[in-house]
Amino acid sequence: MHDIAPELDLTDLKLLKLLQQDGRLANLKLAEAVSLSPTAVLARVQRLTREGYILGYEARLNPLKLGRGMLVFVEVLLDRTTPNVFEQFKAAVQVRPEIMECHMVAGGFDYLLKTRMADMAAYRDFAGTVLWQLPGVRETRTYAVMEEVKNTTQLALP
């Protein structure tokens, strides 16, 4: 179990794998899959949640059906001469629902954003009214995704 928390045993890992594949899996099915009683499995899942291994449960929605079919990644370079620019930028990004993910990165720019839009016109509007107005933004580079080759939230577990 290289790089896995030592307090997790093989049953915990199996439960995490199963729930990662289907978060709606019934407790009884989980119990059958790991050969434990439903009560023991429920206690383990509650412990895994309490200890932060399970962050929550959510439905994965189809962006194409919901008018958000265009995936756009944006590199953002901030103006470091502005005091508190990183804190202001992070706070501003939190309240923008179009920005699905924001990661501070090492390299030639400061942040990588993941956004979803209806189309290029919607992105152009977003860029002008939101993105370029975020605190401290000096430069951006946009990457519109032509094809999503792989999109998963599942972590590789042993």
CATH number for the domain spanning 104: value is: 3.30.70.920
Q: Do 78 and 138 sit in the same domain of this protein?
A: yes
- Which residue type does 83 have? P
Query: Is 132 contained in some domain?
Result: yes
Q: Is-contact 16 5, C-beta < 8 A?
A: no
Query: Is 21 contained in some domain?
Result: yes
**Cα separation, 154 vs 19, whole angstroms:** 10
Q: Do 31 and 81 sit in the same domain of this protein?
A: no
Query: Is 79 contained in some domain?
Result: yes
The domain containing residue 97 runs over which residues?
Answer: 70-144
The pLDDT of residue 82: 75
Query: Is 133 contained in some domain?
Result: yes
**Cα separation, 41 vs 34, whole angstroms:** 8
For residue 132, give the DSSP letter.
G
Alpha carbon distances (Å) from 9 to 1, 34, 91, 132, 154: 9, 12, 38, 48, 19
Q: Do 84 and 133 sit in the same domain of this protein?
A: yes
Query: Is 155 contained in some domain?
Result: no
State the sign of the Cα–Cα–Cα–Cα dihedral 142, 144, 150, 155: positive
Q: Do 78 and 136 sit in the same domain of this protein?
A: yes
pTM value is 0.87
**One pLDDT digit (tens) per residue for the chain, 158 residues:** 456 777 899 999 999 999 999 999 999 999 999 999 999 999 999 999 999 999 999 999 999 999 999 999 999 999 987 779 999 999 999 999 999 999 999 999 999 999 999 999 999 999 999 999 999 999 999 999 999 999 999 999 98
Q: Do 92 and 128 sit in the same domain of this protein?
A: yes
If one counts the domains in the chain, the total is 2
CATH number assigned to the domain comprising residue 30: 1.10.10.10
**Cα separation, 143 vs 112, whole angstroms:** 11
